[in-house]
Amino acid sequence: MNIPLNFKFNITKDTKKRLIILRKTSTEGLEHIILKLLAYLLFFNENLQIEIDAYQHYKPDLIKFDKKQTWKVIKWIDCGTIDTKKLLKISKHNRQAEICIFKFSLESAQSLKDKIIKKAQRISNIRYFIFDKGQINIIKGLLKSRNEIIILNNTNTNCLCLNFNNNNEHLQMKFDCF
């Protein structure tokens, strides 16, 4: 299967429309791209920036800066595999920011959280989001180089409802968060 390097997403939520491009690097799998997409969709109203340099040692997958204070991070999002040392450094450097980690499994997220607690005190600005690998695989099967996504209004907590590429079925992307 020939996997494209760039994925375009026309995203609609209510009256807002946005085009984003996610680039797959040689070190990233499709699952990483999909997690990044889901994070972007979950926080769609926050106008996150993608793969922007934060002028720190590490670069986030998604980020939101304070509009008044240049380069002050409000939200930092990393997806997939993240080293404990990296996460501690990001959290320490961005104490006022919300750090969101997106993972494929509850075990992986819990293991990372336990390592963080073991190396430091409990860090209150880190949140973990877990999407089921089976749900990731559903999107993997629908993914094209150009995609249309509608974020549907949803009253359920911990669920992202999507219409992906005009599929007749609405995807209910359930997630855990702690």
Strand (E) or helix (H) holding 110: helix 106-119
pLDDT for residue 154? 72
Mean of the per-residue pLDDT values for the chain? 92
pLDDT for residue 141? 93
1 pLDDT above the threshold of 70 = no
pLDDT for residue 4? 65
Quick: pLDDT tens for 126-170. Answer: 999 999 999 999 999 999 999 999 999 776 789 999 999 998 888
pTM over the 0.85 mark: yes
**Domain locations along the chain:** 6-177
122 pLDDT above the threshold of 70 = no
DSSP string, 111-155: HHHHHHHHHSS--TTEEEEEE-HHHHHHHHHH--SEEEEEEPP--
Strands of the 62-65 sheet, one edge to the other: 16-23, 6-13, 146-151, 159-164, 171-177, 126-131, 98-103, 73-79, 62-65, 49-50
120 pLDDT above the threshold of 80 = no
How far from each other are the two terminal CA atoms of the chain, in whole angstroms?
36
Quick: pLDDT tens for 88-117. Answer: 999 999 999 999 999 999 999 999 999 998
Q: Which CATH class is domain 6-177?
A: alpha beta
> In this structure, what token pair is assigned to residue 86?
């990296």
Quick: pLDDT tens for 13-67. Answer: 999 999 999 999 888 999 999 999 999 999 999 999 999 999 899 999 999 999 8
Residue 121 pLDDT class (50, 70, 90 cuts)? low
* Beta carbons of 59 and 73 less than 8 angstroms apart: no
pLDDT for residue 69? 84
